[in-house]
């Protein structure tokens, strides 16, 4: 018989993933220890990247984009489908934005923070922010409610996109700006450290991409406060665990901007929908 905990939205949770300690805050240059830690693990956590006031201003800008897209029934942005769902009160919301920076001067200006340029050094001299490539500035809005369409994301590597498109796998970093506190005991981002250096076979078949949601004994998590910044190599296996709380307490909002290298491939309103988005229904 399954025993339910009165504090959580499901069975009593398994042990919490090991917490990866945060580094010192990100300044105008990377320290030797920050570089070492990132290259060893394929991920790093910078505390206190932005203030609570900036968090509020960014979310206000995101809500403005959301209102416009809902009013105009926007289905795709530069070929990327918009993922709609419902909030805890049943109102319609956008749960996954793409290229949000192209639809908000506030978000576009935020990406000019010089500390983002510092992070390019984790990839190399030809690295750049993907403001108009990949999916641009992505905003993920997870909420665990009855009508929500976005509560978790199964194990995957971001490199699978390049494989689908027949491209050479190049380093790509996901830079996450977190807008909510995230207690890892209640779900959230999980990663397998060191898997950015795995071979192609393991990159493809270590897990069932997007279908496998099971915890891994080697996974790690971040203990995040609103305003923190995380960076992980897209070649690492990672997932988002569903919150064990429901309603408002389950809300997790995070913005991601990619750091990429290689040939410049911007997207526009004429761009086709990438093949891998056919599997978007698997992410619920």
The tens digit of pLDDT for each residue in 59-86 reads 999 999 999 999 999 999 999 999 999 9
Task: State both tokens at 95.
Answer: 């749960």
Tens digits of per-residue pLDDT, 92-118?
Answer: 999 999 999 999 999 999 999 999 999
Residue range 14-29: average pLDDT?
Answer: 89
Please tell me the predicted confidence (pLDDT) of residue 12. 45
Please tell me the predicted confidence (pLDDT) of residue 283. 55
Please tell me the predicted confidence (pLDDT) of residue 14. 53
From the list 20, 16, 26, 106, the residue with the least C-alpha distance to 61 is 106
Domain 30-282 has CATH 1.10.3720.10: no
Res. 11: pLDDT tops 60 = no
Please tell me the predicted confidence (pLDDT) of residue 167. 63
Res. 142: pLDDT tops 70 = yes
Res. 13: pLDDT tops 90 = no
pTM value is 0.87
Residue with more model confidence, 97 or 262 = 97
Task: State both tokens at 269.
Answer: 């309103």
Terminal-residue alpha carbon distance, the chain: 26
Would you list the DSSP string of the chain? Answer: -PPBPTTSSSBPPPPPPEEPPP-SPP-SS--HHHHHHHHHHSEEEES-SS-HHHHHHHHHHHHHHHHHHHHHT--EETTEEPEEEE-TTS-EEEEEESSGGGG-HHHHHHTT-HHHHHHGGGT-TT-EE-TTSTT-SEEEEE--STT-S-S-EEEE-THHHHHHTT------EEEEEE-S-B-GGG-EEEE-TTGGG--HHHHHHSS-TTT-----TT-EE--B-TT-EEEEETTS-EEEEPPSS-GGGG-EEEEEEEEE-SS-----TTPPPPGGGGGGGG--
Residue range 35-44: average pLDDT?
Answer: 96
Residue range 161-176: average pLDDT?
Answer: 75
Predicted confidence band at 206 (pLDDT cuts at 50, 70, 90)?
A: confident
**Whole-number mean pLDDT of the chain?**
88
Rounded CA gap, 99 and 187, in Å? 26
Instruction: Name beta bridge partners: 231.
Output: 44, 175
Res. 198: pLDDT tops 90 = no
Mean pLDDT lowest among 66-70, 89-93, 166-170, 222-226: 166-170
Predicted confidence band at 266 (pLDDT cuts at 50, 70, 90)?
A: very high
Determine how many CB atoms are found less than 10 A away from the CB of residue 18: 13
Res. 234: pLDDT tops 60 = yes
Res. 4: pLDDT tops 80 = no
Res. 1: pLDDT tops 50 = no
């Amino acid at each position: 018989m399954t025993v339910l905990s009165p504090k959580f939205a499901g069975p009593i949770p398994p042990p919490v993933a090991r917490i990866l300690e945060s580094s010192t805050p990100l300044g105008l240059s990377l320290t030797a220890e920050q570089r070492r830690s990132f290259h060893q693990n394929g991920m790093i956590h910078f505390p206190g990247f932005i203030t609570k006031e900036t968090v509020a201003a960014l979310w206000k800008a995101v809500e403005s984009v959301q209102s416009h897209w809902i009013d105009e029934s926007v289905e795709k942005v530069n070929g990327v489908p918009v993922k709609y769902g419902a909030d805890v009160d049943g109102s319609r919301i956008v749960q996954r934005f793409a290229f949000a920076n192209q639809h908000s001067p506030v978000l576009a200006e935020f990406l000019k923070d010089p500390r983002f340029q510092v992070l390019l050094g984790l990839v190399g001299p030809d690295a750049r922010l993907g403001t108009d490539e990949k999916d641009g500035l992505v905003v993920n809005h997870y909420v665990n409610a009855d009508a929500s369409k976005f509560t978790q994301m199964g194990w995957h590597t971001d490199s699978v996109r390049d494989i689908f498109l027949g491209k050479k796998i190049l380093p790509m970093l996901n830079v996450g700006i977190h807008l909510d506190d995230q207690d890892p005991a209640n779900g959230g981002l999980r990663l397998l450290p060191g898997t950015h250096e795995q071979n192609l076979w393991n990159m493809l078949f270590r897990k069932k991409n997007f279908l496998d949601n099971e915890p891994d004994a080697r996974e790690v998590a971040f203990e995040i406060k609103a305003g923190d910044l995380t960076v992980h190599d897209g070649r690492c296996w990672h997932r988002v665990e569903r919150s064990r709380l429901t309603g408002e307490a389950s809300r997790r909002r995070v913005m991601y901007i990619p750091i990429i290298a290689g040939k410049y491939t911007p997207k526009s309103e004429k761009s086709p929908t990438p093949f891998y988005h056919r599997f978007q229904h698997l992410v619920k």
